[in-house]
Amino acid sequence: MKRIILSLLLSFCAFGGWAQSRFVSNTQMPVEDRATEDPSHKGVLVLSKNPDLLITVINDNDHTVVQRGKQQSGYYEYEVYINDPEMKAPKIDVSHRGDINHTTFMPRLKKGRLCAYLIDEVEKPITMENQTTKSDAILDEQGTLAEVEFTSTISNLKIMVSPKLQATIKQRQKPGDASVTLTSVVIPAANITEPQKQLAQMQAEFERIKKALTPKSSDKEFERYDTLQNRINHLSDDLMTRFIIEVYAEGTNRLSVDVSGLTARAKQCFGVLMLKTVVREHASKCAGFLEEGNRQYALRNYDEARRAFNNALTASDAPASMEPTIRTSIAQCDSCSLYELYTRQTLARIKKLKEEGGLNQANVAEIYDNAVQFLQVLNRYNPCDFYSKSIHSLQNFIKDMPFKLRFNVVHLKVTRVSVVENGPFGGVEVWAYNGTDTPSPATYRNRKEFTKATRSAPDLYTRMSMTGPDGVAELDMKRSSLPKGFFLVPMVDNKTDIYYKDAEDVMSKAQGTFTQRQFRVKMYQRD
């Protein structure tokens, strides 16, 4: 125990250096989309192999960025919530701390969903220019086709198109210039327009059924409502990926073109070219301060890092476009300084209790548990061996000590104008999920799909408890054997969505003591 305390209270230096400027790319990952806890929320899930991303929303001041740290998938996760309900096209900027290279994208958001993007570094960055003119068109005899044409000098350019579009892809050399390749993607226009018409008809029918429903409606009518809503969700999710054409080559980032707006005889033209990354010159005052701030941050010297980032912000050559990113770095320095203070103060309690003669296994475990929570926050802001080893040391001491995890479930009714609390939610089953990857929302879209998933992979799912009339379900747990996550499955209400939460997230947000933690859940009924 003394060794653990000493190692945590001592200041260790971590060796870090300035990384070269890196080109950052983004790729939409619809298969990784997730449902939000609150159906009225919307945002973006950013996945990356890098722990030092800075994320800002350029055209929106009312947003929240939550760092989830490294998950079992190997990716660091960042959740970006757009709080303004009127914001339909947020411009999201992503960069590495202290680096000028960045990527910007404008996702199509959907209420109740986090739209997933993969942020990566590439060896050979490419970019795309829209070269479409008013005269561009495809003149087939039947007038039923649409076309997307890519012009590029990049060899072995690859085009990925959904098989459902039934596209024809042809490549040819540009007349008079053998170094330029023209790639033509010809699509039957009906394969673009008809699914959208079908979706619109289904949505109109859904609204008609919704307006006709009353508390006296039959089970058959409510079942029809649920079935149609599931069909709409499935088709909507499918179309989000179906209409995306991806362009890439070996060692490059992936570019995408949305063809959902193409109609018969319409043609879009794009030029695909190599992109040179920006190399930071030390002659820049702002760049030098950013470099120093990043170095000090890596060494966990947060006060020094803050001063350097503040100097970068006020430097005479500081570009206005980088102000939001630099301010984010300053805010993260403040957060890390605060949680390091919390950790030191928490561990210092052991020395005080020992001096007072009140030290025992129970209160040491309680103190260690609190310190772990603070260190986990620090490790999300600045992932490094020092924090992860400290967490591991403390968790080894307390891992086999049992505790009770209580789920307190509240039933909320959501209408177009209000959210009404209906009190405790009884009859909700609590299931443990023991898989390695985060489960796909499609597997728990409704009770039927969830039942199918549990039967097809029974080893991954364990029913643990059910909430009583008070909305409470209590589980006996051990920290050394936590599942990947928990499902809350309403058994008496088909209008309330199944709730899933990662176990690490549950533990980080649960309130209470070391021996008993409580996690409050709001489950929303659609009305």
Neighbours of 1 (CB within 10 A): 11
**Looking at the structure, do residues 139 and 266 belong to the same domain, yes or no?**
yes
Range name among 39-48, 182-191, 207-216, 463-472 with the lowest pLDDT average: 207-216
| Those residues with Cβ within 8 angstroms of residue 258's Cβ, 6 or more apart along the chain or in another chain | 243, 244
Question: How far apart are alpha carbons 184 and 245 in whole angstroms?
Answer: 12
| Those residues with Cβ within 8 angstroms of residue 138's Cβ, 6 or more apart along the chain or in another chain | 145, 146, 147, 186, 265, 266, 267
Q: Which of 84, 103, 121 is the last residue of a domain?
A: 121
**Looking at the structure, do residues 267 and 133 belong to the same domain, yes or no?**
yes
Provide the angle, in degrees to the nearest 10, between the axes of the packed helices 323-356 and 361-381. 170
Q: Tell me if 16 is assigned to some domain.
A: no
Question: What domain range is 301 assigned to?
Answer: 2-11+280-397
Give me the CATH number covering residue 409: 2.60.40
The one-letter code for the residue type at 214 is T
pLDDT tens digit sequence for 377-429: 999 889 888 998 998 888 887 777 788 899 999 988 766 556 677 789 999 99
Q: State the Cα torsion 445-446-451-457 to the nearest 10°.
A: 0
Q: Which of 397, 425, 452 is the last residue of a domain?
A: 397
**Looking at the structure, do residues 260 and 229 belong to the same domain, yes or no?**
yes
Cα distances from 228 to residues 131, 201, 204, 213, 224, in angstroms, run 41, 11, 11, 14, 6
Using CB atoms within 10 Å of the CB of residue 522, give its burial: 0 to 12 exposed, 13 to 18 middle, 19+ buried.
Answer: middle
**Looking at the structure, do residues 345 and 419 belong to the same domain, yes or no?**
no
Q: Tell me if 367 is assigned to some domain.
A: yes
Answer whether 80's CB lies under 8 Å from 93's CB. Answer: no
The one-letter code for the residue type at 449 is E
Q: What is the mean pLDDT of the chain?
A: 84
pLDDT tens digit sequence for 291-310: 889 889 989 999 999 999 99
Between residues 31 and 56, the one the model is more confident about? 56
Q: Tell me if 167 is assigned to some domain.
A: yes
For the chain, what is the domain count? 4
Q: Tell me if 426 is assigned to some domain.
A: yes
The confidence score (pLDDT) of residue 440 equals: 85
Question: How far apart are alpha carbons 304 and 13 in whole angstroms?
Answer: 14
pLDDT tens digit sequence for 494-506: 778 899 999 988 9
**Looking at the structure, do residues 199 and 327 belong to the same domain, yes or no?**
no
**Looking at the structure, do residues 130 and 270 belong to the same domain, yes or no?**
yes
Q: Tell me if 19 is assigned to some domain.
A: no
Between residues 471 and 111, the one the model is more confident about? 471
Q: Which of 76, 103, 121 is the last residue of a domain?
A: 121
**Looking at the structure, do residues 253 and 132 belong to the same domain, yes or no?**
yes
pLDDT range class, residue 11, cuts 50, 70, 90:
very low
* DSSP three-state, residue 351: helix
**Looking at the structure, do residues 376 and 452 belong to the same domain, yes or no?**
no
pLDDT of 20 higher than 80:
no
**Looking at the structure, do residues 154 and 201 belong to the same domain, yes or no?**
yes
pLDDT tens digit sequence for 81-135: 998 888 878 889 888 887 767 788 888 888 888 999 998 877 788 888 899 998 8
The confidence score (pLDDT) of residue 525 equals: 74
pLDDT tens digit sequence for 127-170: 888 999 988 888 877 889 999 999 999 888 999 999 999 999 99
Question: What whole-number percentage of the chain has pLDDT above 70?
Answer: 92
Answer whether 106's CB lies under 8 Å from 256's CB. Answer: no
DSSP string, 233-293: HHHHHHHHHHTEEEEE-TTS--EEEE-TT--TTBEEEEEEEE-PPPPPPTT-HHHHHHHHH
- CA R_g for the chain: 27
**Looking at the structure, do residues 39 and 85 belong to the same domain, yes or no?**
yes
The confidence score (pLDDT) of residue 279 equals: 47
The confidence score (pLDDT) of residue 463 equals: 95
**Looking at the structure, do residues 185 and 260 belong to the same domain, yes or no?**
yes
Q: Tell me if 18 is assigned to some domain.
A: no
Between residues 449 and 89, the one the model is more confident about? 449
